[in-house]
Structure 1
Amino acid sequence: MTAPARSSLRHMPAVQSRFVVRSFATLVFFSTLAGQFWRSLFGWWGYGTIALLVVAGAVVALIRLKPDWMWPRFPKSLIAFLGLATLSLAWSFYLGASLIGVTLQWVTTLAALFLALCLSWAELLRTLSAALRWILALSLAFELIVAVFVRQAVLPFWVDYGARDVPESFYWSRGILLQGGPIEGIVANRNLLGFVALMAVIVFAVQLAAGTVSRSWGLAWLGLASLMLLLTRSATVTLAAAAVALALLFALWARRRAPEGRRPVYLAAAASVIVGGAGLAVLTPTLLTLLGKSADLTGRLDIWRSVTGLAAERPVFGWGWVSYWAPWVEPFEGLAVRRGVVYLQAHNAWLDVWLQLGILGLIVLAALVFATLWRSWFLAVDRPRRALEDTEPYAASALLPLLLTVALIAQTLAESRILIESGWLLLVVLAVTTKRQQATNQRMP
């Protein structure tokens, strides 16, 4: 056997192992972004089995791959938030529910740490892209099947709602794709599908700009993501998309100026936030009409009032961490019910944290979120002396953390997803990877 042949054989196990790692990472992203797909398809027991397999695989990967944890460079605010959530068991009003919530928070964090520590930046982008493509393609196929062949609304499997009228939001799909939507896709919620589509637009555009995908396929997937974004008709995601576009504009402007000459950029950004916030407050009724929303923000105003009143009873430390609300315990039982639908979140991440972890929790969450935004901004606009990956243009891929972080922050105003499942996983991944990259850049000569 020739020397090149022997060398090729020696490298095959490593190549195969990285393929397994990337495939599993794609499954992790898919299962957190489309958790409702597994629940609708297999019920809670089936979903629980898949979730256990994912967490077990993440733990095994962290043990076998032995990544460099870099504890001195680990996000301290992330540790503080997890520590506070765990410590809240001591004063929780609903200890059993808190035990479940804290456990879910930690296992989701373990899955995120696998992604952040065991994958290179190129692999993260590649596996996230693959998961998003699977969700979008399956969602379109699912909606087409329901609209063309089933021709009626479809409920999740393994659920019996009895003879009562089923609320519209309980349906897996309403089958109105051919009427122009809105569509729910495999995730059974147009806001969730819209946010997945927005993420896909960001990721696919970055891949196209970085040249890591063929132009024809890249444009095709970008077109599909844009179409799905429009078909969801999500007002929440529309505002998040506007925030992402604005962040991209300022990042590109900042890149064209030296660090000492960026004062106009920051002044303009601050002015845009102030003017945008004021304009949103004044024009909210008009915007709601244009987006087809009710004046009470689809019941959110009532939920916010209820949550605010409850949070004010325990303002400093909160009622105890619970993640998803537990509707079988006080004070969540009957807290947010609208048209027969029991809501399991405050539809505002900041109110949710104030309710569960008090003002102290708000401070810690703000530190985690805005420290991640701070790092992602400077990683996006200050080109380091060495690229994240030698094999891809840094200028495009460095924008990804910033744009995803901005999208998550914009979503916090109307959803609490950043605290649970895919939102928390993405936040942890972004917090850890930006912190590690910042540390790497600082060590460069």
Structure 2
Amino acid sequence: MTSPVPTAPTRWLPALLHSAGMARAFTLAAFAAVLSANAIQWLAGTVTYVTIIVGLCVIGVGMLVARRQEIRFLHLVPISLILFVGWCAISVFWSASPSDTVIGTISQVGIALLAIVVGHVRDTLQTARALGDVMRWLLSISLGLEIVVGILMPHPLHLFGIDGNIAQFGPIEGIFGSRNMLGFVAVLALVTFFIEWRSASVSPRLAGFSVVVAGLLAVFSRSPVVLVLAAAVGLAAGALTLVRRVRPRDRAPVQWVLGVIVLLGVIAAYLLRHQIIRAAGSEFSIRANLWRVLAPYVRTYPVQGWGWFGPWPLEQYPFQSINYSIDRSYTTSLNGYADLLLQVGWVGVVLFAALAGVALVRSWLVASQRGSIVYAWVPMILVTILTNSVFESVALFGAGWMILVVCAVRAGQTRSWRERLASPEPDEGLPHRT
């Protein structure tokens, strides 16, 4: 009697990690976890949130390994991202608190890793759809909880930090911790829902419901930042629509004219910043006062900054001194660019500008040349994030940082010098090896 031939063990784990279903589930879970950071930490603590992110990172690395045959190493991470994160990491050598810098860098790298995985296992439409699904649920939950806490309950419970002001038409926070964060997420959602509707990837009824929910929350947040974001996105969308309708041979001059207009607008806004702040009201005056206090600390180490921390550790200098000067407990400078100057200096600002700027230019050019409206999602999201960075620092960590890196990775898939390097055009004048 012959013994049975042993069968090879089934390779179910690599197959699972390589599957399309796993890619979709991972993308949904990553977006949901990072966007729900405030709710998770309020409900279960920071350790639970960190454990979720670490677990997702482990799964993400496994997915990249399982797909190693189809992912080009040159396309894995944008060089601008490596340079920026690398500069933040080496700031540990001059940081006032090296341990906090290490923690901040690990957090930054972990969120970026999730974004890199998403950028490689999902295409642009799939990414937008996943983000749209997550935002639809989170915004609906936020609206439902606001109604329960603010209207149905006799006494506010402050569940998830919700103050229950919806009966007074705001300001409301949802599950995102602050009205400005809710407004930012709502505008991102509106951009995403519009792309879903125009690409016919969801039903008109679902698209309409999504837009109504996001619009209501944006209005009820009563965040002044929402108006600025809406104006910036509207102008960018109008400019992109104009470029897309121009004949291909006329697009380059139009692009240059638009670029000059944007540059002049930025310069004018900077030169008139004091007048703009005075006209904008108390919300922006508070920010201006904080930025004024920051200035001496920025001038102390203008090139390299005080070291990367991410959100401010309140017990560390200079953040403790800054908050003491204005009798507040801020965890950011309420301006992403000011935070970069303070923490990683002008070098960090330049590297971040390269990361975001290259991604924006690449995605804008692709969106202006390709027919599908889906390609407009990346530049519109980047415009929203970069505009919001004037008033908040969410682009440097958490959900804003993750979405920024996703957009940078997606933009790096096209119009890259690495594409030509990886696939050189054959020289027709020479014989080729077979």
How many angstroms does 1:335 deviate by? 1.8
C-alpha offsets along residues 313-364 of structure 1, whole Å, 9 cap, x if unaligned?
A: 0111111111111112222224236986511111111111111111111111
381, 386, 403: which one aligns with 1:404 = 381
Q: CA RMSD in A?
A: 2.7
Q: 1:286 to 1:116 in 2, by over 3 A?
A: same
Aligned residue among 240, 244, 256 for 2:233: 244
Q: Which is worse superposed, 115-124 or 434-443?
A: 434-443
Deviates more, 1:269-278 or 1:211-220: 269-278
CA-CA distance at 1:27 after TM superposition = 1.6
Aligned partners of 2:28 and 2:130 also within 8 Å: yes
Rate the CA distance shift 1:300–1:337 in 2: closer, same or farther, 3 A: farther
Residue 267 (str. 1) matches residue 257 (str. 2) = yes
Q: Quick one: distance in 2 between partners of 1:298 and 1:134?
A: 35
1:132-211 equivalent positions in 2, closer than 5 A: 132-155=135-158, 172-211=161-200
Greater mean deviation of Cα atoms: 68-77 or 304-313: 68-77
**For residue 146 of structure 2, what is the amino acid of its counterpart?**
E
Are the structure 2 counterparts of residues 63 and 202 from structure 1 closer, same or farther at C-alpha, using a change threshold of 3 Å?
A: same
C-alpha distance in 2, partners of 1:437/1:140? 38
Corresponding residue for 2:114? 111
> Counterpart amino acid of 1:19?
G
Q: Distance in 2 between matches of 1:22 and 1:338?
A: 48
- How far the C-alpha of 1:227 sits from its partner, in A, is 1.4
The Cα shift of 1:403 comes to 0.2
Question: 1:36 maps to which residue?
Answer: 38
Q: CA deviation at 1:414?
A: 0.9
Distance (whole Å) between structure 1 residues aligned to residue 158 and residue 302 of structure 2: 39
How many pairs are equivalent?
A: 404
Is the alpha carbon distance of 1:140 and 1:16 closer, same or farther for their aligned partners in structure 2, counting shifts above 3 Å?
farther
Task: Find the aligned partners of 1:16 and 1:54 in 2 and give their Cα distance.
Answer: 15
**Is the deviation greater in 113-122 or in 411-420?**
113-122
Structure 1, residues 58-86: CA drift from partner, whole Å, max 9, x if none?
22322333374434344211111111111
Bigger drift between 64-73 and 126-135 goes to 64-73
Unmatched segments (≥5 aa) in structure 1: 1-12, 158-171, 289-293, 384-393
> Is 2:124–2:375's contact at 8 Å kept on the other side of the alignment?
no
Q: Which whole-Å CA distance do the structure 1 matches of 2:301 and 2:325 have between them?
A: 25
Counterpart CA distance in 1 for 2:304 and 2:107 is: 20
For the pair 1:79 / 2:94, whether they are aligned, the reply is no
Alignment correspondent of 2:10:
none
Stretch moving more, 361-370 or 431-440: 431-440
Corresponding residue for residue 168 of structure 1: none
| Structure-2 residue corresponding to 1:359 | 346
Change (3 A) 1:338 1:400: farther
1:244 aligned partner, one-letter code: V
The structural deviation recorded for 1:265 is 5.4
Distance 1:67 1:424, change over 3 A: farther
Q: 1:47 aligns to what?
A: 49
Match of 1:106, as an amino acid? V
Q: Secondary structure at the match of 2:175?
A: helix
For the pair 1:65 / 2:42, whether they are aligned, the reply is no
Q: Which amino acid aligns with 1:436?
A: Q
Q: Which secondary structure state, in structure 1, belongs to the residue aligned with residue 392 of structure 2?
A: coil
Distance 1:331 1:256, change over 3 A: same
Change (3 A) 1:396 1:63: same
Other-structure match for 1:24:
26
Match of 1:312 in 2: 299
Structure 2 alignment gaps of length 5 or more? 1-14, 426-434
Pairwise CA distance, 1:30? 1.4
Return closer, same or farther for 1:322/1:67 CA change in 2, 3 Å cut-off. Answer: farther
Q: Does 2:418 align with 1:418?
A: no
Query: Aligned equivalents of 1:338 and 1:148: distance in 2?
Result: 39
2:429 is matched with none
The answer to whether 1:377 aligns with 2:354 is no
C-alpha distance after superposition, 1:118-157 (max 9, x if no partner) = 2233321221111111110110111011012334444467
Scaled by the length of structure 2, what TM-score is found? 0.86
The question of whether the paired residues in 2 share the 8 Å contact of 1:250 and 1:269 is answered with no
Residues 151 and 166 in structure 2, CA contact (< 8 A), matched pair in contact too: no
CA shift for structure 1 position 264? 4.3
Distance 1:56 1:156, change over 3 A: farther
